[in-house]
Chain A
Amino acid sequence: GNSVTQMEGPVTLSEEAFLTINCTYTATGYPSLFWYVQYPGEGLQLLLKATKADDKGSNKGFEATYRKETTSFHLEKGSVQVSDSAVYFCALRALGGGADGLTFGKGTHLIIQP
């Protein structure tokens, strides 16, 4: 079956540090890949996505590249801010999944200290 593995954290960084959150996946075929962000007390918001190999998704300074050869979709940001503190979820949707929902990783809690 499909699965997503991501570092669970918490990950604690200082403001302006470089961020990497690792995400690897197992799926049949070529899934679509997503990063969602959840701020305290809120629902999930789509942060970025990639639908085919070598695609790079980007938004709000965050980037992730769909690497088929390593089945990875690592999230990166060059300079984090306190406002980036949140829980980040990597997710996939299998190609041809029809109505099927997303498969999520367990989430990474990111804490940015001033």
Chain B
Amino acid sequence: DAGITQSPRHKVTETGTPVTLRCHQTENHRYMYWYRQDPGHGLRLIHYSYGVKDTDKGEVSDGYSVSRSKTEDFLLTLESATSSQTSVYFCAISEGRENTFGSGTRLTVV
């Protein structure tokens, strides 16, 4: 068990409001990732981190920012939520070559 916890599990928010999703891991993994899952698109990488304060953009980073001030926490922020950001968001850590995923956060922007 990679000890990955995502919070909240579900959230409904209004267009234009800021939203922060949290990913917490307990096993001191260096690499962490945020993906979004949408029908017909599979999973797409938003941002990733390779250490404290070290982050980089993924395939679909527009409208998102991240922060990693501690090894165990990786935060994803939607500065001003839009309906196109309604999705299921997954956090992951890297173990060897593969990723291990959290349970996901279902975000609805109305």
Contact = CB atoms under 8 A, between A and B. Distances in A.
Contacts of A46: 98, 100
A44 B90 contact: yes
Contacts of A93: 97-98
A32 B97 contact: yes
Tell me the dominant secondary structure on chain B's binding face: strand
Nearest to A107: B42
B48 interface: yes
A74 interface: no
B50 A89 contact: no
Among A44, A100, A103, A105: residue with most chain B CB under 10 A: A44
| Tier of interface size on chain B | 20 to 34
B14 to A, nearest CB: 25
A106 interface: yes
Interface in B37-75: 40-45, 48-50, 56, 58
A42 interface: yes
A99 B94 contact: yes
Contacts of A104: 42-44
Contacts of B44: 104
Nearest to A89: B42
Contacts of B94: 99
Given A104-B43, A106-B40, A43 B90 contact: yes
A43 B45 contact: no
Nearest to A108: B42
A43 B104 contact: yes
Given A99-B48, A100-B48, A106 B42 contact: yes
A88 to B, nearest CB: 11
Contact of A98 (B33, B50, B102): B50
Given A43-B90, A43-B104, A51-B97, A101 B41 contact: no
The 7 closest A-B pairs by CB, nearest first: A99-B50, A104-B42, A101-B45, A32-B97, A106-B42, A104-B43, A43-B101
Given A49-B98, A98-B50, A99-B50, 13 more contacts: A43-B90, A43-B103, A44-B43, A44-B90, A51-B97, A93-B98, A101-B35, A101-B45, A101-B48, A102-B43, A105-B42, A106-B40, A106-B42
